[in-house]
Amino acid sequence: MNKFSVIIPTIQRTLRVLQILLQVLTEDVCVDEILVINNKPKVPLVLPKCDKIRIITPAENIYVNPSWNLGISECRNENFAIINDDILVCSGFISSVSVSDVFNSPETGLIGAAQGLDMKFYKKEEEMELPQKYSNLQFIPLTRYMSTGDWGSVILGKKSNYYMIPNELKIIYGDNYLLYKNQINGKINYKVSGMPFNHLHSFSSSSSEFSNIIANDMLNQKKYIVKKQNDNKNIDENRVKYKLDFRQNVCFLEYCENNKKSISCFKKDMDAQNMEKLLSEMIPEIEKLLLCQIIDRIISQNKVG
């Protein structure tokens, strides 16, 4: 039987969900240990006593991606699962993945969550409930490593396919970096479908206190994740065009896709997280890679003044 180490970073904002998640995981026969990284060191993390659970408390908040690195360096098993503290998986999820041919194939890199019908989003923690298994697992090859949505909210794999994420990436792009490194090293990454996930989307990372760090992540990821030439061509030269115009403290975005034009305006000194949320609401069909590109340009403009 494959034994798993589970890594869960937390800043204690979704303790009810975390408690339910831990109950499900401790009952899974494949889960050998659970490392909970407490990134709120000034507040003791109180969890049910269980031999499988180990709390690691850094001296300060080291953020998401460094917490993954820490968990990997501390865990005792070759097989690992990284799970958000704001997501619930169904009973037996890890055991079901562990016995699959895909997970045990030497050609497989990492396996993550699928969105669509498999992921249900919640806005209130008290409304979250444990999802029920409803069909057999399916593994869908993931050919891209950018614009992958919430794939990184659940990641399963082997330590041999984990690459330590650069320290300059604190909160986002860690999953994209892992996908990228596996892909360029000849591995096939997958998203798993057939078992549901209930998710409080960006419940912690959307806080304004993290906006500057996320903005830095957006800039720093360019050093470590090489975009495919086709990605940029599809955005800039094919069906999507955009133009930015800055007037004092206001940014005007003219966005054209398939000859359909939209114009939006907003304050250009917004933090990156709120800007991403606003633009996603204004232009629901906007691609993630394009969205990051636009935000990068606005942030650069803000620094110039």
- Cα–Cα nearest to 141, from 172, 115, 112: 112
Question: What pTM, to 2 d.p., does this model score?
Answer: 0.77
Give the HSE-up count for residue 97: Cα atoms under 13 Å, Cβ half-sphere: 32
Distance, CA of 132 to chain centre: 22
Q: What is the pLDDT of residue 253?
A: 84
pLDDT along the chain (305 residues), means of 10: 95 94 96 97 93 97 97 98 96 94 97 84 88 83 87 96 97 96 95 89 64 90 76 45 80 77 80 74 69 74 59
Q: Write the pLDDT tens digit of every residue in 47-101.
A: 989 999 999 999 999 999 999 999 999 999 999 999 999 999 999 999 999 999 9
CATH superfamily ID and name for 4-199: Spore Coat Polysaccharide Biosynthesis Protein SpsA; Chain A (3.90.550.10)
Contact 90, 131 (CB under 8 A): yes
- Cα–Cα nearest to 34, from 17, 49, 52, 12: 52
Q: What is the pLDDT of residue 226?
A: 83
Q: Where are the domains of the chain?
A: 4-199, 227-304
